[in-house]
Structure 1
Amino acid sequence: MVSKLDLYKVFCKVALCKSFSKAAKDLYMTQPAVSQSIMQLERELDIRLFNRTPRGVSLTNEGSLLFEYVSSAMNLIDVGEEKMFEFKHLTAGELKIGVGDTISRYYLLPYLEAFHMKYPNIKFKIENGTTLELCSILKSGKIDIAICNFPLDDPTLEQIPCIDIHDVFVCGEKYKNLVAHPISLEEVVTFPLILLEPSSISRKYVEDYILSKGLKIAPEFELGSHDLLLEFARINLGIACVTKEFSKEYINKGLLFEVPLVEKIPKRNIGVCFLKSVSLSQASKKFVEIIENRH
């Protein structure tokens, strides 16, 4: 059965060629099939679209009006198909990523660079937020993927761990004596503590671990960024709980010192998450592959 779209394709070709036979050749159809298609369209619309003459065909006034709309629609379909080709082959498009400032700075940048080198025509849109905020934005459809702290207790999200990270305590010169030998968590909680805000996944993970040991914490400072944790510890306002992998510059330069613990806090992960119910775009798939292949 010939679809209405097929009939309009034949209509446009005949209008451009001004000949059934030429249109048939371009469409790889027989001339009777082209003629039959035009007659069927005219019957369905109940209007004559072409004037037939021995020299060929020409559009009627009604046919000319219809051609303006149909040719525009066909052009839009062609453009749409071209866009789909571009998206499929990553020669155009946009990748929307959600990530926090700290993970972006200390982890994500090399992957953004690698992806951009490989697919320079894909634009980035970056949304910043905490892990919980990013999960909410992800569910709203405003981003394709999120790079955030694990673990996440959310069955609607696909979670791919990418890198192990370790929570450690660090201090400045004032508390350097703590570095001499491993200390217990019981001793740690007696010092002025510098932690992230309670809503942070990182803070909750550490706090839950300390609570599991029967200990409570009362931080001296609760801050909104990892970099502030490092700076507050550096100027000796207390000992800060930080991500070791993101604090190496301070530790290696001797600006901060890692406090050894008798019992280390179990490692956790940073990874990629996305909605299980929504298929990833081609750009998102390739970006996740780049991250996975580098570990």
Structure 2
Amino acid sequence: MISKLDLYKVFCKVGKSESFSKAAKELYMTQPAVSQAIMQLERELDIRLFNRTPKGVSLTNEGTLLFEYANSALNLIHVGEEKILEFKNLTTGELNIGVGDTISRYFLLPYLEAFHNKYPNIKFKIVNGTTLELCSILKSGRVDIAICNFPIDDSTLELIPCNEVHDIFVCGEKYKELLSTSTNLEELVNHPLILLEPKSVSRNYVENYLLSKGIQVSPEFELGSHDLLLEFAKINLGVACVTKEFSLEYLDKGILFEIQLEEEIPKRNIGVCFLKSVSLSPAATKFVEIIENKQRK
């Protein structure tokens, strides 16, 4: 049984060509099949759509009215199909990414540049937040992917670890006596500590590691920004726990100094996460592929 949509496609083609035979040729159908389709549509609508003449066919008044609507509808469907094709080919669309400010600056930017150079017509929407906030935003559907601090314990998310990062303690000139020898953690926490706020995954990771060693911390300052950690340490307000890879500018210029620990904090990762239950959009899929390909090099 021919579908209703196909019936209207045949109807519009006959209406335009005013000929069953011409319509059949354009549709790659037999003329009897075209005639049968028109008769079926007329039966279903209980109305005559064409006047049959020896020279061909012409639309009846009712057929003319229907043709205006049906032809417009088919044109809209065609436009929609073209838009879907553009979407699949990444010639249009939007990519929504959740990311924290620090990871955006020190990790994300090169991948955004590479993706934009390859697919310049895709628009970006960047949503900022902490890792826990971004996981919630991801589940709400506001972003396609999130780039976060790991570890994340959430069975609903697909996790792709990327860069390894190291949590270290740094200090300014005032605390340079800590640099003379390796420092144990018990001694270190007796100094004023500058840490990220408790809801931060990075803070929780370091704090849980210290607790596993029987060490509790009571920081002097709890901040919401990695850059603030560096600035507070720079003016000698205490010893800051920072991500080494995001602090190289301060360390390389001698603005801050890494405190050598007797036992280093184990490495962790930053990476990409997305919902297991939802297929990634073409743009998000390509973006993740770019990250993974660069990681392999």
Give the TM bin, normalised by the shorter chain. over 0.9
Instruction: Indicate the residue corresponding to 2:239 in structure 1.
Output: 239
Q: CA deviation at 1:79?
A: 1.3
Partner-residue secondary structure (3-state), 1:294:
helix
Q: Distance in 2 between matches of 1:285 and 1:32?
A: 47
Instruction: Indicate the residue corresponding to 1:52 in structure 2.
Output: 52
Q: CA deviation at 1:142?
A: 1.0
Q: CA deviation at 1:283?
A: 1.1
Q: Distance in 2 between matches of 1:99 and 1:244?
A: 19
Q: Distance in 2 between matches of 1:180 and 1:75?
A: 77
Letter in 1 for 2:103: I
1:13 paired with 2:13, answer yes
Q: Distance in 1 between matches of 2:250 and 2:240?
A: 13
Identity of aligned residues (%): 78
CA deviations on 1:18-48 (whole Å, 9 max, x unpaired) are: 1111111111112121111100000011111
Q: Which consecutive unaligned segments of at least 5 residues does structure 1 have?
A: none
Q: Distance in 1 between matches of 2:117 and 2:27?
A: 41
Q: Distance in 1 between matches of 2:188 and 2:52?
A: 95
Q: CA deviation at 1:76?
A: 1.6
Q: Distance in 2 between matches of 1:105 and 1:190?
A: 32
Q: How many residues align?
A: 295
Q: CA deviation at 1:204?
A: 0.5
Instruction: Indicate the residue corresponding to 2:4 in structure 1.
Output: 4
Letter in 2 for 1:32: P
Instruction: Indicate the residue corresponding to 2:111 in structure 1.
Output: 111
Q: CA deviation at 1:122?
A: 1.0
Instruction: Indicate the residue corresponding to 1:230 in structure 2.
Output: 230
Partner-residue secondary structure (3-state), 2:159:
strand
Q: Distance in 2 between matches of 1:73 and 1:239?
A: 67
Instruction: Indicate the residue corresponding to 1:127 in structure 2.
Output: 127
CA deviations on 1:93-152 (whole Å, 9 max, x unpaired) are: 111111000000011000000000111111111111110111011111111100000000
Instruction: Indicate the residue corresponding to 1:200 in structure 2.
Output: 200
Letter in 2 for 1:12: C
Instruction: Indicate the residue corresponding to 2:211 in structure 1.
Output: 211
Deviates more, 1:59-68 or 1:132-141: 59-68
Instruction: Indicate the residue corresponding to 1:251 in structure 2.
Output: 251
Letter in 2 for 1:188: L
1:178 paired with 2:187, answer no
Q: CA deviation at 1:81?
A: 1.4
Partner-residue secondary structure (3-state), 1:266:
coil
CA deviations on 1:47-81 (whole Å, 9 max, x unpaired) are: 11112222222222221221122112211211121
Instruction: Indicate the residue corresponding to 2:40 in structure 1.
Output: 40
Deviates more, 1:163-172 or 1:61-70: 61-70
Partner-residue secondary structure (3-state), 2:125:
strand
Q: Distance in 2 between matches of 1:200 and 1:61?
A: 70
Q: Distance in 2 between matches of 1:69 and 1:204?
A: 61
TM-score (norm 2): 0.97
Q: Distance in 1 between matches of 2:109 and 2:152?
A: 23
Partner-residue secondary structure (3-state), 2:102:
helix
Q: Distance in 1 between matches of 2:227 and 2:110?
A: 19
Q: Which consecutive unaligned segments of at least 5 residues does structure 2 have?
A: none
TM-score (norm 1): 0.98
Partner-residue secondary structure (3-state), 1:288:
helix
CA deviations on 1:150-190 (whole Å, 9 max, x unpaired) are: 00010000000001000000000101111111101101110
Deviates more, 1:134-143 or 1:49-58: 49-58
